[in-house]
A and B are shown apart, each in its own frame.
Chain A
């Protein structure tokens, strides 16, 4: 059973450019989460999907951010017109939601540096 994978692992871009990250969850996991982690801080929730439906977005997710999960499989997170403040580690997690409880399993993250 493969874990959560994320690509690319590292991305360096110039301010104003668009970037897209991909997350492949554990197969058969119906929920997929995106978090952002800055240096010295804990991860912060951005958004999540149940199957293909995006059910919640954090206020942290500005209009420049968009996420999709077509067909309820992999997910992409796009940042348009990147700013230096977007520099962070972007983490993806997946879970199998059955009943009340669920456990999220995280991928290795994509580290973004905006110059």
Chain B
């Protein structure tokens, strides 16, 4: 069965702190895709990154970095030097290649509050 678990419901940090959001997934498929989306208070889900199961190379984009480890089925997201504008709900999601459907299975989300 497909499942995404984001164990951290809420995280609160002070501006400029680093913060890591955890994501653990379950799938029986060998080919799959992992995503992170940001949902600010306005409600619109904003795409951040897509990773395929064959590419375990970590990625950095500005203050954002992602650590993909197949051995532990984890795809963690780190924000370096957090800012107030990073405050949002962050979702990790999984999509399996089997069946050719791109439907996303989302975790429950982690609410990040960055205080000034």
A residues sitting closer than 8 Å to B (CB atoms) are 31, 33, 35, 40-45, 48, 55-56, 89, 91, 93, 95, 97, 100-109, 111
Contact = CB atoms under 8 A, between A and B. Distances in A.
A44 B31 contact: no
Given A42-B106, A42-B109, A106 B44 contact: yes
29 contacts: A33-B102, A33-B104, A35-B104, A41-B109, A42-B91, A42-B107, A42-B108, A42-B109, A43-B106, A44-B106, A45-B104, A45-B105, A48-B103, A100-B52, A100-B97, A101-B52, A102-B102, A103-B35, A103-B47, A103-B50, A104-B102, A105-B47, A106-B44, A106-B45, A106-B47, A107-B44, A108-B44, A109-B44, A111-B43
A100 B99 CA distance: 11
Contacts of B47: 103-106
Contacts of B103: 33, 45, 48, 56
Nearest to B33: A101
B30 interface: no
A58 B78 CA distance: 33
B72 interface: no
A91 B97 contact: no
Contact of A48 (B33, B45, B101, B108): B101
B42 interface: yes
A100 B46 CA distance: 21
Nearest to A103: B50
Nearest to A56: B101
Question: Which of A42, A43, A95, A101 counts the most chain B CB atoms within 10 A?
Answer: A42
A10 to B, nearest CB: 11
B44 to A, nearest CB: 5
Contacts of A104: 47, 102, 104
Contacts of B52: 100-101
